[in-house]
Structures are given as structure tokens and as C-alpha cells.
Structure 1
Amino acid sequence: MAHAFEAGEARAVYRAIHERRDMRHFVGGSVAPEVLRRLLDAAHHAPSVGFMQPWRFIRIRGEALRHQLHRIVEQERVLTARALGEREDEFMRLKVQGLLDAAELLAVTLADGREKHVFGRRTLPQMDLASASCAIQNIWLAARAEGLGMGWVSLFDPAEVAALLGLPEGAEPIALLCLGPVADFYEEPMLQRERWAKREPLASLVFDEGWGRPSDLFDHPSTVEPT
């Protein structure tokens, strides 16, 4: 294709996608300021509906604030476990220590005043969240390319986190990102390794012309490697 990357560059993109992991184990250390700026710049170059750029990033640097956030997460982790019923004990074995152990902790929030952005959101207001999620994915892929792990924590009460971080009315926290050096990357997603869930076959999730109609894309084996 005329505008395709060189083969090695394309393979690197696909490698970052396939080797990205939601990390839960960190080894402290640090992230150089220039690397963190690159990661945030990657996030800021994510697509956003109507070019609304709804993402805001708060760098959590103080230990006391980290511990307060960890307490909020632990409260929700217990409540989530109870809601899972028979899988409560299994869930409680999945720790969320990255908030305390990772080199960097970033809170990602949706900005206030999003209601003024109508382009692309009139019937789908949740596109602000979709746009911010693209920014988070950009950080994730860039972090993997830099050799850094990242974990997305969403076990928290948004109102409590908003109050703790002093968010203005209308702003909304959507993620706590644990970021930093790791001993190693999981060979497979942690929740798959722990037998919590497994990746669904792609062919079962792609339809032609309408819901539930199997796609002929998968009549023949295909490769995930770019040519």
C-alpha cells in the first residue's frame, strides 16, 4: 500500500498492541520526565469526537494522597467482591497494589463543560468517554514501547475521587493509571492467566450485514503479522 509503514515499523506497532498488558505488579523506580512527557503527548494526540479533547490528567505525587486513593479503591474492591457472590474469594486474591508501588500514578478525568460539545454527541453523549479511552490506550501502547508497564484501575467511587482531587462540577474521574518499571510483562493477560476469563474468538464477534451473521472474513485462516 502506498502509505503503509515500512515492514519493521508496522511489526513494532502490532507488537505493542499484542504485548500490552494490564499490569498489577510494579518494582518502584522512576519514569524520566522526558519519557512521561512523551507518553502524555501520545495521549493528547488521540482522536476525539468533534475534536473535543475531553481528557485531563492529574499527576499524583504525594504519598499521603496515594494512600487515600488506595483506601477508596480497597473499599470498592470489597464491595465488588461481595457483589460477585460465589466468586468473592477468587476476586479478593486479585490485589491492586500498583497505586502504592508504581513509579507514577495518573488520574484521568473527563473535563467539565462537555455539554457544549454537540458535534458527534447529540445522540451519543458517551463519546466523551470513548475519546478519553483512546487517549488512555495511546499511553498504554507508548508505555509498552518504552518498556514501562501500566495498569488501569477503575475500582473506585467517582464522587469520592472527584472530591479528593478537587474536581470542578461536571468533571468526572474515569481511571487511575499505575505506570512504571516492571520485573517482566505477563505472557498473557493476567485475568486470563488467573482463569478469571479468556479472550473470545474473534470470528464469534465479527458479523456481516447484521447482528449474528457470521463474517466470511474467517472462512480462511489469517495472520496477525503485517506483511
Structure 2
Amino acid sequence: MLPDPNGCLAPAGAFSPDERAAVYRAIETRRDVRDEFLPEPLPEPLIARLLEAAHRAPSVGFMQPWNFVLVRRSETRERIWQAFRRANEEAAGMFSGEAQAKYRSLKLEGIRKAPLSICVTCDRTRGGAVVLGRTHNQQMDVYSTVCAVQNLWLAARAEGVGVGWVSIFHENEIKEILGIPGHIEIVAWLCLGYVDRLYQQPELAVKGWRQRLPLEDLVFDEGWGAQDGRVPTAQSERVTHSAAADNAIREGS
């Protein structure tokens, strides 16, 4: 055991089987919710827990570059939706034929339907000009903010709250609506609300947009492109748990 003269260390070790299963269940059953939000408002203590989870994310140089702009008013969300609608029409025009028709068929109503939106931003000046760990990769602050988004998303899944990540907008329009300073970067617009059903698989897979890539095609050994066929597989208890998680989704839990 490492010496700990200042009492700063805590015991480390694996979670109990039930705790471990809960973590994996949140990861496996997390979904990007686009249209299935219920109108019921989220309680303030719940919102506080989700924000605390986001704030516990790892950040390079411990710079904690994130801010969270909470948007509840329907008038503000309507202005944001109008900005999204304009950008979405531009996006639809980038596809053609069957792909465009399929794109237009997707219901993207989270901004209007979800009772809460959170604009997650990154302050790239926080921590000063030279930040530990960002000296050779200036994107590490943005990557850190994405970790905060993922923390919030997984905590929301555990709380029975759906999350939808909206990325189709012109950043300057959102900044103008919310009064966000020019040097702040918008990383995510998240729609949050209760849901009583989730897709068993990602919605874009269910609707034929793309399918999950085989993990074995994405794992290399000791160098790019090198594969020796020894991709690790999950233990049997994980496979059993995954099936239980799918059953839980079908039952609406």
C-alpha cells in the first residue's frame, strides 16, 4: 500500500457485483432521446444531482472549463428551436435521395418538448494561457467538457431522465440568444426530461441510418491495423446482465 502521510488517499477496489452491474446498465441502455420526452418538470434536487455529476468529470489540468446554462422558459426554447430549424433545413439539403427522405423523417422535437435544456459551454481561457496537460494539445479543454456531458448523461439514465444532444445550429445564433461571450465555446445543447420508454437499440440503428460497428474491427494490437484475433470478450455475468437490461427497457423501467 502507498504511504499516505497526509491522509489524502482512500481505498481502491472493484465495486460489488450489483454496483458494477448498475454502472454497466447505465452505459448500455443510455440513448439519445429526440422526441419521447414527457412534459413533467424535473425536480430541482434532481437537476442539482445531475449538474454535480457533470461537475465531477475529469478535466485536464483540473481547469474545469465548463459552464451550464439552464433554459426552462418556453419562449427561450422556441427561439432556440427556430435557430435549430433553420440549420436543420440546411443539413437536410446536404443529403440526397433516400438519405434525405430518411433524415427528414427523424423527429427532432426535443428542444420544444423537453421541459429543460442545458447549454454546456467551454471557457478556453480558464486556467490561463498555459494549462498543465494542454501544452501540446489545445483541444484537451473541449475534450474535458465532453466528459462532463457524458457524466451528466449517465447520471440522467440512472435517474430515469432522457437526454438528447442537439448539435445542429449556428453557434453565433445561440450565443446571441443566451448572451454568451464570444470567447466561450458551445460544446452541447442538451434536452432533458422524463421518459417512460427508450429504444432497445440506438434510434438511428433502429431506423436504418447506421448500425453499430463490430468492436473486433476497431481494436488493433500494438500498432495501427494490426489484429491478432484476440479481442477481449465480456465475462458471462456481463452478458447475462445485458440481457436483463434489455428486458428492463422493454418493460419501460
Give the alignment's TM-score, normalised by structure 1.
0.93
1:95 paired residue number: 107
Of residues 178, 192, 216 in structure 2, which corresponds to 1:165? Answer: 178
**Which of 160-169 and 197-206 deviates more?**
160-169
Of residues 62, 78, 89 in structure 2, which corresponds to 1:51? Answer: 62
1:22 match: secondary structure: coil
1:202 paired residue number: 215
Greater Rg by CA: 2
1:155 paired residue number: 168
Q: Does residue 35 of structure 2 align to residue 17 of structure 1?
A: no
Of residues 31, 39, 42 in structure 1, which corresponds to 2:42? Answer: 31
1:121 paired residue number: 134
* Structure 2 counterpart of 1:192, one-letter code: A
* Structure 1 counterpart of 2:144, one-letter code: S
1:41 match: secondary structure: helix
1:73 paired residue number: 84
Gaps of 5+ in 1: none
2:94 paired residue number: 83
8 Å CA contact retained: 1:50, 1:117: no
Gaps of 5+ in 2: 1-11, 242-253
1:31-51 CA-to-partner distances (Å, cap 9, x unmatched) read 111011000000000001111
2:230 match: secondary structure: helix
2:16 paired residue number: 6
Shift of 1:117: 4.4
1:217 match: secondary structure: coil
8 Å CA contact retained: 2:72, 2:115: no
Shift of 1:175: 1.2
* Structure 2 counterpart of 1:98, one-letter code: G
**Pairwise CA RMSD:** 1.8
Runs of 4+ in 1 over 3 A off after TM superposition: 220-224
Distance verdict in 2 for CA 1:221–1:66, change over 3 Å: closer
Shift of 1:156: 0.7
User: Could you tell me how far apart the structure 1 residues matched to 2:207 and 2:192 are?
Assistant: 22
User: Could you tell me how far apart the structure 1 residues matched to 2:219 and 2:169 are?
Assistant: 32
8 Å CA contact retained: 1:77, 1:92: no
Shift of 1:112: 4.9
1:42 paired residue number: 53
User: Could you tell me how far apart the structure 1 residues matched to 2:228 and 2:56 are?
Assistant: 32
2:81 match: secondary structure: helix
Of residues 90, 107, 121 in structure 1, which corresponds to 2:119? Answer: 107
Identity %: 41
Distance verdict in 2 for CA 1:120–1:89, change over 3 Å: same
**Which of 91-100 and 113-122 deviates more?**
113-122
Distance verdict in 2 for CA 1:215–1:126, change over 3 Å: farther
